[in-house]
Amino acid sequence: MKRDIYIRGLPESTYLKLLKKKDNDGFRDDDWLPFLDYLTADIHIEDTPGEIIQQGTKAGLFELWMKNFVENFKVIDEGKSVSDIVPDVSKSEPEKDLGSAIIMGRGPSIFTLKHLEKLAASDYNGAIFTSDGILIDALKHGVTPEKFSNYYCLSVDGNSEKIWKWYDDRLVDQYANKIKFILNSTVAHNVYQRIKEVGGEAYWFNAMMDYWPGQESITRVMSASLRGPRRPNGLVRIATAGNCGASLWIQACSIFRRFTICLIGLDMGYPDGMPLEQTYYYDKLFKAVQGNMEFVKAQFTTMYNPDFKCTVIQDPIFKHYTSSFYELLAAGHRVVKTYNSSHGAIVGRPDLSLACIPFEEFLSRFHE
């Protein structure tokens, strides 16, 4: 059903922003309805299975996040933030491209395609952004900060047992003082302690948990609580899009001004043939729909990646992550060129400046 809607009290500045976005997104000569349909395409009247899981995760983990934030508060207040490692040129020349970056996740293809070995053997000279889950494997395969001087590792998860183990290795002890560790303010305190005890430096940020300008926003409260002479605006806020890989992409381009980015290990799915019971979110989905097995099975879909000629299984969460990642690229595609070398669910999208190429090709084209 279509009807005329008038928004009384809409500020002129908001209207002008909408008008600008309508123009920028290719709807200049269209009525407002197609543009609004485009804006709300990924908003569902009824929650999707992926949204149900995410809502349950947020509700179930909120107390843990707040506990971690309180435990980290003193060291965050006295420590450094991501703002402290922003390149100076980013502040004076925000559109300046500082080179390329490689973002590493823990998707299966990073192992099957031997991407770590290929990177270690290359003469690549850009920045390395690694998720915590792949850090130890990267170091073991020779992807170290001694070879790659611009080396960053990100942790966003608050689980004290799962995340701590990603740092429990002698190679982390050996290289910690040469790695810049970027930590969400709600990571488990033992993760910070582990990094500190082996000589690493933590750089903090607040993950965007909600619409922060809102008066009741928890992100707003957390950021404001850390205001002071050193941080008059509070701790820097950065969107994470729900997963480490997407958060690294945001930070690489928006914070560190790397406008040519390659993705490895961001499969956004599971290898074809993997039993559903072994997938990461199976148990959560099973509980969320109260054990409806047929419904659960229906939420797992198989997709074909035409760029790499491979098949991937996706659950609702990875579908959501993939869709969210495309939205991020839509916002930055006029500046950032993204190359995906992960054999997974991410496919080439020329409209988003996203291309799928073999990792060897990226290394040969952007080694300097």
Residue pLDDT, tens place only, 278-298: 988 888 777 777 778 888 888
pLDDT at 26 over 80: no
**Predicted pLDDT at 41:** 64
pLDDT at 238 over 70: yes
Which contacts (CB < 8 Å, 24+ apart) does range 27-33 have?
33/2
**Angle, CA 12 vertex, CA 9 and CA 17 arms, to 5°:** 120
The DSSP secondary structure of 134-175, one letter per residue, reads: HHHHHHHTT--TTT-SSEEEEE----HHHHHGGG-SHHHHHH
Residue pLDDT, tens place only, 52-106: 555 555 556 788 989 999 999 999 999 999 999 987 765 667 678 889 999 999 9
pTM for this prediction: 0.82
**Predicted pLDDT at 256:** 92
Q: Decide if 100 contacts 262 (C-beta within 8 A).
A: yes
Q: Regarding predicted confidence, which is higher, 223 or 267?
A: 267
**Predicted pLDDT at 4:** 58
As a whole number of angstroms, the distance between CA 73 and CA 61 comes to 18
Residue ranges per structural domain of the chain: 49-365
As a whole number of angstroms, the distance between CA 147 and CA 127 comes to 11
Q: Where are the alpha helices (DSSP H) in the chain?
A: 12-24, 32-39, 49-78, 88-92, 109-112, 115-120, 132-140, 160-164, 170-175, 189-197, 218-224, 244-250, 282-288, 293-299, 316-332, 359-365
Residue pLDDT, tens place only, 189-198: 999 999 999 9
What are 330's two structure tokens?
């839509």
